[in-house]
Amino acid sequence: MSDCNCSNIAILAVISIGFMYLIRKHFKGGQFTENVSARGKVAVVTGANTGIGLETVKELNLRGAKVYMLCRSGQRGAVAKQELVKIMRQSWRNVSPNCIDALLGIMSVIRDGIPVETRIDILVNNAGVWTSGYQQTKDGHELTWATNHLGHFLLTELLLPLVETAPAGRIINVSSLVHAQSPAIDLATIDSKEGFDSTIAYDKSKLANVMHARELARRLRSRGSAHVTVNSLHPGVIATELLRNLGIGYKIFQIVFAFFLKSRKDGAQTSLYCALSTEVKGVSGQYFSDCAKKDNAVFAKDDLACKQLK
């Protein structure tokens, strides 16, 4: 009788483990498995000292790219670079990223952080913040809007001539699924403290990322630069530091839902897919999630609103 019970327990354990494996595989999301080299390519990644930005830099390095890490903190960026150099040495490679300070909320700092290159093949606008309350940059912009959209918009414009020099430049805006729940963007009130809500502010900035990609893709096509593609993406719900400004609630969220969150490696997969995959060659103005093209929000398809956002 005991043998029978042991057998039942063993079978139940195997079924449970298999079930948990399938659930975890589902939440890991799409994986970029294409064997594509990045050797000879020059890449720029913002928010590169932590989370999916750091994973993106690591994978691009491992595939042979020369990578510039744009980080808001030079000290944290240096620590991240040391970590990556160690990984590269373990892989018998001597390539190491270049770390540059670039506080995306401050326009003058962005201009100072432009890398000196003859071309840029890949630009990943990855950095993001989600504040716990209203904050304003010294330029007079609301911090979430300035960092998540304005900073990346300016950086993209400054680097665009170098991206256009590349034979097949790719620009990637890391947005979020929450862009779909954003209200329409009112540029007249976007920096206002009155009625400020941190969640809505974040949603709007992510909507702007999608709209920016769509509008820039249109502009490039219209002026004969279709060899440069611009796309946006949802990386997934990830265990990163994005919510660190939300205090103890962030830590509780990570502990309770850890099993259902993507790792930072999983979260970087769609960025890498958009940056390197042959399936995305020539594809522009689209929105991706889990390494596949997805439909985006109604407001993101408003061509007039996209042009006004420019």
Whole-number Å distance between alpha carbons of 222 and 241: 38
276-283 mean pLDDT:
97
* Selected residue with higher pLDDT from 216 and 236: 216
- Residues of the chain above pLDDT 90, percent: 55
pLDDT band, very low/low/confident/very high, at 260 (cuts 50, 70, 90)? low
User: Active site includes 21?
Assistant: no
- Within a domain: residue 14? no
Given the residues 68, 202, 273, 287, the one annotated as active site: 202
Residue 116: per-residue pLDDT: 75
Mean pLDDT in residue range 144-156: 94
Check: CB of residue 243 under 8 Å from CB of residue 220. Answer: no
Residue 19 is predicted with a pLDDT of: 45
CB 138 within 8 A of CB 253: no
In a domain, 287, yes or no: yes
24 occurs within a structural domain? no
State the total domains in the chain. 1
Task: Write down the pLDDT at residue 194.
Answer: 94
How much is the mean pLDDT over the chain? 83
Asked, for residue 82, whether it belongs to a domain, the answer is: yes
Cα within 13 Å of Cα(252), Cβ side:
4
| Between 23 and 184, the higher pLDDT residue | 184
Lowest mean pLDDT among 29-43, 76-90, 156-170: 76-90
pTM comes to 0.84
Question: Which range (25-34, 91-100, 156-165, 177-186) has the least confidence?
Answer: 91-100
- Residue 197 within a domain: yes
Separation between Cα atoms, residue 119 and residue 138, nearest integer Å: 31
Identify the weakest region by mean pLDDT among 197-206, 237-246, 266-275: 237-246
Tell me whether residue 23 is in a domain. no
Domain of residue 144 covers 31-309
Phi, psi of 15 (to 5 degrees): -65, -40
In a domain, 259, yes or no: yes
User: What pLDDT is attached to residue 24?
Assistant: 45
pLDDT band at 21 (very low <50, low <70, confident <90, very high): very low
**Phi, psi angle pair for 288, to nearest 5°:** -125, 155
- The domain that contains 72 carries what CATH number? 3.40.50.720
Helix (H, G, I), strand (E, B) or coil at 236: coil
